Structure 1
Amino acid sequence: MTLARSLPDSPTEWWILLGGLALYLLGRWFFAWRQARSEGRRRPARAALNEVGDDDHPDMYPARVAAGGFDTWQQFIGFMIGAAVLAVIAGLTDGPLRVVLLWVFAPVLVIGLAYLDFRTARRAGEKKARTST
């Protein structure tokens, strides 16, 4: 059974894994850039890069332990639904149809998770700003 591998076996699988990670990071950066631009910041790209790396506030996430390492239950549920959708597609389709559906749904789900993470970090930052004043 090859479904439970720990690391990719071929260079193509590594590129797919790295591509998914890059897509997630680009999605997070895009959402932060769009928010900075709508707030009227002078350099939205620089503000977005600073914001994407500034999400790690362990004291802001008391539910992280309860949700299995996720910041909120919404993130956990979003991750599980995304994994279930991909598993159903991979299990019920075969051949070129499987490839097409996975190439369509996987990026959509990755961008959706990036948006959910962006919103969670934004709410945590707003909450921290309100409590510090």
Structure 2
Amino acid sequence: MVVARGLPEGPTEWAWLAGIIGAYLAISYLLAYRARRRRGASAAARGALHDLGDRRPVQPPGQYLASRMIMLGGALVTGVAGFLTSGAVRVVVVVVVGLLAIALWAYFDHRTEVRSSQRAE
């Protein structure tokens, strides 16, 4: 019998979840830092860190849905890649495919976020 679960139970599952969240935050930070450096900001690292924590404005419904579909599609592709492989190859494939999916998701959110100059208006 298969029982549905909601939260991770073991430390390995929590580590995977923390890794996914950490990768998303790291990639989001790097994208924000790169954007600030290209605009010539003097304190790009501090500004990018502030942008990372300043997520109050919600995306428009269409962009929010697209962001969640990218997230779910990436999770599905990563899960299928893990299902189709085994052994040490599985870990490598899941990590590579997962990081690519997270990078795509973070890049989409970065490109569609409401800029601070538009928030002030």
**Runs of 5+ consecutive residues of structure 1 not aligned to the other structure:** none
* Alignment TM-score, normalising by the size of structure 2: 0.82
Structure-2 residue corresponding to 1:11: 11
For 2:46, the aligned partner's letter is: R
Deviations 1:29-72 (A, max 9, x none): 110000010100111001101111222214x62x1xxx5xxx43
Q: Give the TM-score normalised by the residue count of structure 1.
A: 0.76
Alignment correspondent of 2:41: 41
Q: How far apart in 2 are the matches of 1:100 and 1:81?
A: 19
- Mapping of 1:99-118 within 5 angstroms? 99-118=91-110
1:89 aligns with 2:81: yes
Aligned pair count?
A: 120
Partner of residue 56, structure 1: 56
For residue 104 of structure 1, report the CA deviation from its aligned partner: 1.3
Q: CA deviation at 1:23?
A: 0.9
Q: 1:19 and 1:84 mapped to 2: Cα distance?
A: 17
Runs of 4+ in structure 1 over 4 Å off: none
CA drift of 1:84 comes to 2.4
Which letter does structure 2 place at the counterpart of 1:36?
R
Q: 1:16 to 1:83 in 2, by over 3 A?
A: closer
Q: Which string of whole-angstrom CA distances, capped at 9 and with x for unpartnered residues, describes residues 51-101 of structure 1?
A: 11222214x62x1xxx5xxx4343133123212212322333333332221
**CA separation of 1:108/1:95 partners in 2, compared to 1, >3 Å: closer, same or farther?**
same
Contiguous gaps of at least 5 residues in structure 2:
none
- Give the letter for the 1:99 counterpart: V
- Tell me the percent identity: 32
